[in-house]
Amino acid sequence: MSLDLRRLDQFALGDGIAAVSPGALARYRRYVRAFGREELVRRLFLLPHPVSPDCTYEDGQPQKSCQVVAVGRWSDAAQKRPDLLMRVIEAASRRRKEYRFVIVGEPTTELEEWHRALPPAIRERVELSGVVAHEELVEVMKESRVLLVTSAFESFHISAAEALCCGATIVGSRSPCLPSLRWFTCGGSGTLAPKLGAEELGRALTRELAEWEHGTRCPATISRRWGDQLHSDQVAAKVITWSKCSS
């Protein structure tokens, strides 16, 4: 209780209180109201993490390939869940022989051993790319249809935001520990599994790949929609607009 009250006093020091997603904004509103601090509600506003404008996909760009990408700090096993990643990708690669899977981020020993043990026909379609430069990651996301998120918890998940701006969709888990994913997958931008598990994520990935194959996902439309909300110039404009309205 004392920590909550001190945090509210800290909130009161600012002219504005930014929340990175609609879910976080709703939680903040409930939080300040629960302690009777209604005057803080008007200071709350949505301010997502900015995404570089080069994360974009326009009409006329090369068609997206049958590719799924996953990005993570895989050494953090408790958060990023590389164990789930391996199980989901191995199962999906057996069912969808036309798909490639790119794993970005420093691979752990377990990931490397798993990769070496895959049957050759699967291993050649699963790439451990390691750490890559921003420009290379953007190109991978522009080529990919889906970003697979196996995390157990995240605050914003900037890689998901970048993927959306590159015209990819998101597959992850529905969880209060992943508040931004509900926002990121709304309006035909992805599919959520009902809980964090290999079978559930596998089924969600299968459904999302089917959406692409049935032509219900338009990467240029997805890119425009999310770029208008997440690109750095748009986020900066939100700050300027908010500051003018609050002054």
Give the chain's domains with CATH numbers: 2-47 (no CATH), 67-227 (3.40.50.2000)
Q: Is pTM beyond 0.85 here?
A: yes
Average pLDDT over residues 33-43: 92
Helix 158-165 vs helix 219-230: angle between axes, to the nearest 10 degrees? 130
**Band of residue 191 on the pLDDT scale cut at 50, 70, 90:** very high
Do 173 and 196 meet the contact criterion of CB atoms below 8 Å apart?
yes
* Sheet with 100-104, side-by-side order of all strands: 126-130, 100-104, 67-71, 146-148, 169-173, 190-193
Look at residue 93 and tell me whether its pLDDT is greater than 60: yes
Average pLDDT over residues 74-93: 97
- pLDDT tens-digit profile of 3-17? 577 888 888 888 889
Category of 185 on φ-ψ map: left (φ > 0), alpha (ψ -120 to 50) or beta: alpha
- pLDDT tens-digit profile of 99-150? 999 999 999 999 999 999 999 999 999 999 999 999 999 999 999 999 999 9
Please tell me which residue, 207 or 247, carries the higher pLDDT value. 207
**Band of residue 2 on the pLDDT scale cut at 50, 70, 90:** low
Average pLDDT over residues 181-197: 97
